[in-house]
Structures are given as structure tokens and as C-alpha cells.
């Protein structure tokens, strides 16, 4: 994918002096052995369990590497995460390592902001570089070089509240799947019945909230739709498949009312909806739900079965002061043993760990059957959520254009044509 003009701080880094480092094929050795190295990695989680696990891995590493004085995991607010990281880069306060969201991956991968990792990972004893799934690494590669480790490949799934379904006189979710009644049309009709019988919501696309439009790829992929062509050069929001997908969503919001409309919210994990589309990593929220639930794949769309994943990568920042040390720590942090530990929260990219036994041990709320039939196929076959260079600017333009869609009498084809007119100059 390409961009006519750099619109993020990450893209601007391509013009700075560190590009020579990025082109060198790996972290550059320090001129002299460094001591008292402080490493900082930005993350977007403040979950105590996550941070405790990270700290334990860091402590183990520092015990064998006295040159590392500290390793700090720096939580940043999710909503402003990417802009905060790019501001730090532009301001000369680069982290040594950073988590990267999939929608900004093309900016970081193409800009020279990341140090190539092949050399340090392949040369680390016991790393098993070939164990990384090609489908998981594809987004983070350029010209044969891996520029970020795909730290988490989390499939989007559907959680179902079987108690609400029963209250509305509907079949249990497992029976819906067994009967072949698991399509988006079925979800819409069942969701409308739940709303009519209980006053609760039918289905919720979590984190969409009529703002974060790219979460709707979990629906429109079922119609074979996409926001732009595979090469990223041409807008396809106005194509027939996308129009049909948005007609379904619009009807769900304003006609059947199976989906909460603009300005309304429903939290599935608080028992307020029959179904929610979200990532498998949200399963821990079920512990406080107090209702019978089930896990299902995304419903079939007109194109049949499909899967969507979200991804996060960890990269070594080229502007960091300790690229060699950061790369070596990343190799330890993501080796087979630690990848298995991290799998408790973040589905790994290692093919050897993509099995029901490993993932069930890491996700005790899920059964091995659920993992085997839903989670593993979702990781192996899922298409990553949309991404593009200049993702922040494109995202703002799409969001503003789609605002006109969320009214009862919207002209859906016209709105989507206007969306393409707004973003085509940026593609």
C-alpha cells in the first residue's frame, strides 16, 4: 500500500537520519558494550495481570543480563495510543519498543520507524523463527524482513447469552449452530425477538459505537466487501457488496432494531444483549456476567463462512537509544517458552501453540471444543481488520462521511459514494 503524502509522525520518520539504521538489516551493535541500559516499551494495557506477567519475564531476563538496569512497560491510553507514540517519536523521546495496532501497521512498516528483526531472532538459540505463522507475520513484513513480532492475533467471535435467548423463547445458541441457523439474517431476526420480548439488545458489535467504523469489517466481510482494493489504491466503499452490507446494518439499527441505534449502548458482559461480536481476549469479562453463555464463530454471510482477526505487533524503534539491547530482549520476550506464557491473554503466532491443549490451558473459561472449533480456525483463517498508510487521516474522513448513514432515511449508496470521494485522494 502507498500514500501520496506523509500524514503521521511515523511516516515522517522515513526522512530522518535513522533510516540508515533501518536499512542495515538489524539492530546495530553498540560501538562499545553498554552498561546500565534502561529499556522502555509502550503498551496500551494497564491490566494488572498483564503487567505482572510482563514484569516477571523482564525480571527473569535481567537476572541473566546485568547490563540491563531496568525494563519499564509504559501504559498509554488506548484511544490516543498511536498518536502518543508518534508524538514521542517526532519529539525525540522514542520508546525502545512499542506495541503497534494493526490499522497503523502500514505506516510503521513502510516508514523506517522499525528495526528489521530477522537477524536477531534467527540468531537467538532456541527461538524457532520458522514456527511463526506466515499468515500472522504478513502484515508486519517488507521485502522479506520482519519488522514487528505479531504479538497477538486475536480472532473476532460471537458470545451468546443463552439465558436471554431462553427468556425470549429462542433456541439455545449451540442448537442454532447445529441446525445451520447461524447467519446474519438469523442473528437479526433473533435479536429483534429478544428486544421485543425482554427489552434488551439483540446483537452488539463491541467497540463500534458508531465511531470506530473498521470494527464493522466483522460484518461486511461476510458480504465479501472491503473498504479499498487489495493494493490499497482505490476506494470500494461504494461497491455493491458494501452497499448490501450497510443496508443490512442500517435495517438492523432502524427497522428491526435488533442492534442498538445511534446514541444507545448495551454491554453484553453485563447481561444487556443476546449476542456480541468481539475478540476472544474479552473472554475474561465473562467471569462477572452471571449468565449462561456460549462461544460461536462469526455468523455466515452471503459469501458463506469467514473469519476476521485483530492483531498487535511489537517492534524495536529505530530512534531508540538501545536498538541492539531492545532487539535481544524482544527475542527473549517472544521465545517459545514466553510465547506460551503470554498465550494466557494474547493468542500467539506460533503454529506449535495453535492447538486446543495449549490455548485451553491459557483460557480456562473456554472448553477445548470451543477452542478447536472457533478459536484455532479463526486465527488460522482470519483476515486482519482493514489497515492502510495514513490510517489516522483516512479514518477521520471515513467516520465523518459515514455519520450521514446513521439516520433513518439515509441514502446508503449516495453516502458510500461520498465516502469514496472523500478518501480516494488519500489512497
76 and 42 together in one domain: yes
* Positive or negative: CA dihedral 214, 218, 220, 224: positive
Alpha carbon distance 354, 376 (integer Å): 6
**Per-residue pLDDT tens over the stretch 207-247:** 999 999 999 999 999 999 999 998 899 999 999 999 999 99
Residues 300 and 335 in one domain: no
Report d(CA 317, CA 307) in Å as an integer. 31
What's the rounded Cα separation, in Å, for the pair 196 and 223? 27
Helix (H) or strand (E) holding 57: helix 48-64
What are the residues facing 160 on neighbouring strands?
275, 294
> What span, in angstroms and rounded, lies between the C-alpha atoms of 162 and 306?
23
What is the domain range of residue 82? 9-154+310-384
- My answer on whether 146 and 162 are in the same domain is no
**Strand ranges (E), 162-266:** 201-205
The answer to whether position 223 is within a domain reads: yes
| Statement to judge: residues 149 and 267 lie in one domain | no
Q: Which three cell numbers stand for residue 16?
A: 530522518
DSSP three-state, residue 212:
coil
Flag whether 169 is in a domain: yes
- Please indicate, yes or no, if residue 90 is contained in any of the structural domains: yes
- Asked, for residue 408, whether it belongs to a domain, the answer is no
Residue with cell 551493535: 29
Query: Residues 240-247: contacts with CB within 8 Å, 24+ apart?
Result: 242/416, 243/412, 243/413, 243/416, 244/302, 245/216, 245/219, 245/220, 245/301, 246/220, 246/405, 246/412, 246/416, 247/412
Q: What is the DSSP letter of 145?
A: E
Cα–Cα distance measured from residue 77 to residue 95, given in angstroms and rounded to the nearest whole number: 15
Distances (CA, A) of 36 to 71, 148, 317, 375, 424: 11, 25, 19, 42, 49
Domain count, the chain: 2
Do 264 and 282 sit in the same domain of this protein? yes
Residue 236 grid coordinates:
470500494
**Strand segments (E) across 280-419:** 293-296, 308-316, 383-384
Q: Which residues pair with 101 in a beta bridge?
A: 312
Same domain, 104 and 39: yes
Name which of 396, 365, 390 is nearest 289 in CA terms: 365
For the whole model, what pTM was predicted?
Answer: 0.81
C-alpha cell at 253: 439499527
Spatial distance between the Cα atoms of 338 and 331, rounded to a whole number of angstroms: 10
User: What number of CA atoms fall less than 13 Å from residue 253's CA on the CB side?
Assistant: 22
CB atoms within 10 A of CB 80: 11
Q: Are residues 207 and 118 in the same domain?
A: no
pLDDT tens for each residue of 366-395: 888 888 889 888 888 888 888 888 877 898
61 lies in the same domain as 138 = yes
Cβ contact 207:278 at 8 Å: yes
pLDDT digits (tens, 9 = 90+) for 312-365: 999 999 999 999 999 999 999 999 999 999 988 888 899 999 888 888 777 778
Do both 227 and 358 map to the same domain?
no
Domain match, 148 and 182 both: no
Strand partners, 205: 277
Positions in the chain whose pLDDT score sits under 50: 1-32
What is the residue whose three cell numbers read 536498538?
323
Rounded Cα distance between 389 and 400, Å, is 18
Alpha carbon separation from 194 to 175, 183, 273 (Å, rounded)? 16, 16, 8
Please answer whether residues 203 and 267 qualify as being in contact, where contact means their C-beta atoms are separated by less than 8 angstroms: no
**Alpha-carbon gap, residue 200 to 40, rounded angstroms:** 44
**What Cα–Cα distance (Å) separates residue 382 from each residue in 106, 136, 304, 376?**
18, 9, 14, 10
Which CATH number does the domain housing residue 291 bear?
3.40.190.10
- Name 372's Cβ contacts closer than 8 Å, sequence gap at least 6: 356
Does residue 208 lie in a domain region? yes
Residue 100, beta-bridge partner list? 313
Asked if residue 327 is part of any domain, the answer here is yes
| Judgement on whether residues 128 and 226 belong to the same structural domain of the protein | no
Instruction: Check whether residue 149 and residue 177 sit in a common domain.
Output: no
- The answer to whether position 403 is within a domain reads no
d(CA 89, CA 117): 19
At 12 the pLDDT is 41
Enter the DSSP assignment of 290: -
* Inter-CA distances, 25 with 20, 113, 282, Å: 10, 13, 37
3-class DSSP assignment, residue 67: coil
The Cα–Cα gap between 1 and 420 comes to: 17
Domain annotation covers residue 343? yes
Write out the three cell numbers for 169: 423463547
Amino acid at each position: 500500500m502507498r500514500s501520496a503524502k506523509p500524514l503521521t509522525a511515523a511516516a515522517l520518520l522515513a526522512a530522518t537520519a535513522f533510516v540508515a539504521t533501518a536499512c542495515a538489516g538489524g539492530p546495530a551493535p553498540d560501538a562499545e558494550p553498554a552498561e546500565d541500559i534502561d529499556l522502555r516499551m509502550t503498551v496500551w494495557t494497564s491490566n494488572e495481570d498483564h503487567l505482572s506477567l510482563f514484569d516477571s519475564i523482564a525480571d527473569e531476563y535481567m537476572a541473566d543480563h546485568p547490563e540491563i538496569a531496568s525494563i519499564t512497560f509504559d501504559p498509554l491510553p488506548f484511544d490516543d495510543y498511536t498518536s502518543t507514540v508518534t508524538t514521542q517519536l517526532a519529539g525525540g523521546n522514542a520508546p525502545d519498543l512499542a506495541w503497534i495496532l494493526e490499522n497503523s501497521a502500514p505506516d510503521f512498516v513502510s516508514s523506517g520507524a522499525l528495526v528489521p528483526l530477522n537477524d536477531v531472532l534467527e540468531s537467538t538459540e532456541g527461538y524457532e523463527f520458522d514456527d511463526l505463522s506466515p499468515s500472522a507475520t504478513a502484515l508486519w513484513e517488507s521485502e522479506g524482513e520482519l519488522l514487528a513480532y505479531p504479538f497477538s492475533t486475536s480472532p473476532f467471535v460471537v458470545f451468546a447469552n443463552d439465558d436471554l435467548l431462553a427468556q425470549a423463547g429462542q433456541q439455545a445458541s449451540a442448537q442454532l449452530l447445529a441446525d445451520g441457523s447461524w447467519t446474519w439474517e438469523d442473528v437479526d431476526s433473533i435479536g429483534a425477538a429478544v428486544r421485543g420480548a425482554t427489552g434488551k439488545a439483540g446483537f452488539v458489535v463491541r467497540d463500534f459505537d458508531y465511531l470506530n467504523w473498521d470494527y464493522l469489517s466483522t460484518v461486511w466481510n461476510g458480504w465479501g466487501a472491503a473498504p479499498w482494493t487489495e493494493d490499497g489504491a482505490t476506494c470500494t466503499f461504494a461497491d455493491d457488496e458494501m452497499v448490501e452490507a450497510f443496508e443490512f446494518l442500517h435495517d438492523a439499527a432502524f427497522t428491526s432494531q435488533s442492534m442498538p441505534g445511534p446514541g444507545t449502548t448495551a454491554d453484553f458482559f453485563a447481561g444487556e444483549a443476546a449476542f456480541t461480536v468481539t475478540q476472544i481476549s474479552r473472554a475474561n469479562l465473562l467471569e462477572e456476567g452471571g449468565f449462561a453463555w456460549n462461544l460461536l464463530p462469526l455468523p455466515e454471510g452471503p459469501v458463506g463462512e469467514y473469519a476476521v482477526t485483530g492483531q498487535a505487533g511489537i517492534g524495536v524503534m529505530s530512534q531508540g537509544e538501545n536498538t541492539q539491547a531492545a532487539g535481544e530482549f524482544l527475542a527473549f520476550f517472544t521465545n517459545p517458552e514466553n510465547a506460551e506464557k503470554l498465550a494466557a491473554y494474547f493468542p500467539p503466532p506460533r503454529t506449535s501453540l495453535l492447538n486446543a491443549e495449549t490455548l485451553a490451558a491459557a483460557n480456562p473459561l473456554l472448553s477445548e471444543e470451543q477452542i478447536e472449533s472457533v478459536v484455532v480456525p479463526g486465527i488460522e483463517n482470519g483476515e486482519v481488520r482493514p489497515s492502510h498508510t495514513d490510517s489516522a487521516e483516512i479514518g477521520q474522513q471515513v467516520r465523518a462521511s459515514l455519520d450521514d448513514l446513521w439516520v433513518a432515511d439515509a441514502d446508503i449508496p449516495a453516502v458510500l459514494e461520498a465516502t469514496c470521494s472523500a478518501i480516494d485522494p488519500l489512497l
